[in-house]
Amino acid sequence: MNPRSYYSNTPALHYSVPLLGYFVSGKKMCVKAITIVAALFLVAPATAQARDVIHKGDVVVVPLRGEVASSLLAFLRRAVKAAEGNEASAIIFEMNTYGGRLDSAADIVNALNQTNIPTYTFINTNAGSAGAIIAIATQHIFMAPVSAIGAAAPILPTGEDL
């Protein structure tokens, strides 16, 4: 018996795997997998760059997530300035926050009151405390079906109401 024919008939060496709806075996599978991975590396940077460019008339979506603090204020100011500089048609703040610092929320409200671009808030999950104050400062508020807004009473660091 020819050893080559013995190994070529061994079921363990002949396999096929479904790859993107096609059954591919051996060498073809490797070539297709390498091609797909290479294509993903070529496409990924282009899509990441496209999200950072604002054109005239675009609607800018700004995520407001986590604690309301001075870092969020700086981020929001940069986003509003970029939207104004590129003549965006609207700014949507996608919000998910339990609140944070009242002084930062007041500064964010002042920044929102100074812009001429229409502002919207989409409360994706939660807009508590300082987040509710920021949401109320925008011109329109929209909420996801299971989202919540409220509890906007200022609380001192000691836990007492102001």
Q: Are 111 and 141 in contact (CB under 8 A)?
A: no
pLDDT at position 146:
87
Q: Among 111, 114, 108, 110, which Cα is nearest to 127's? A: 108
Say whether both 75 and 137 belong to one domain: yes
Determine phi and psi for 63, rounding to 5 degrees: -75, 130
| Domain span at 29 | 3-51
Mark whether 89 and 105 lie in a shared domain: yes
Are residues 65 and 133 located together in one domain of the fold?
Answer: yes
- How many angstroms separate the Cα of 108 from the Cα of each of 39, 59, 105? 42, 19, 5
pLDDT by residue (tens digit) across 75-120?
A: 899 989 999 998 889 999 999 999 888 899 999 999 999 999 999 9
Residues with Cβ within 8 Å of 119's Cβ and at least 6 positions away in sequence, in order, are 90, 91, 92, 93, 112, 137, 138, 139, 140
Kindly report, residue by residue over 18-58, the tens digit of the pLDDT: 444 455 555 665 666 667 666 666 655 544 444 566 777 88
Number of domains in the chain: 2
Tell whether 19 is covered by a domain: yes
Same domain for 101 and 46: no
Residue 96 sits in the same domain as residue 145: yes
149, exposed or middle or buried, with CB in 10 Å at 0-12, 13-18, 19+? middle
Asked if residue 146 and residue 87 are part of one domain, the reply reads yes
109 in the same domain as 67 = yes
The pTM of the full predicted model, rounded to 2 decimals, is 0.62
Asked whether residue 17 falls in the same domain as residue 74, the answer is: no
Question: Has residue 6 got a pLDDT over 80?
Answer: no
Same domain (yes/no): 68, 117:
yes
In a domain? residue 41: yes
One domain, residues 29 and 67: no
pLDDT value at 1 more than 90: no
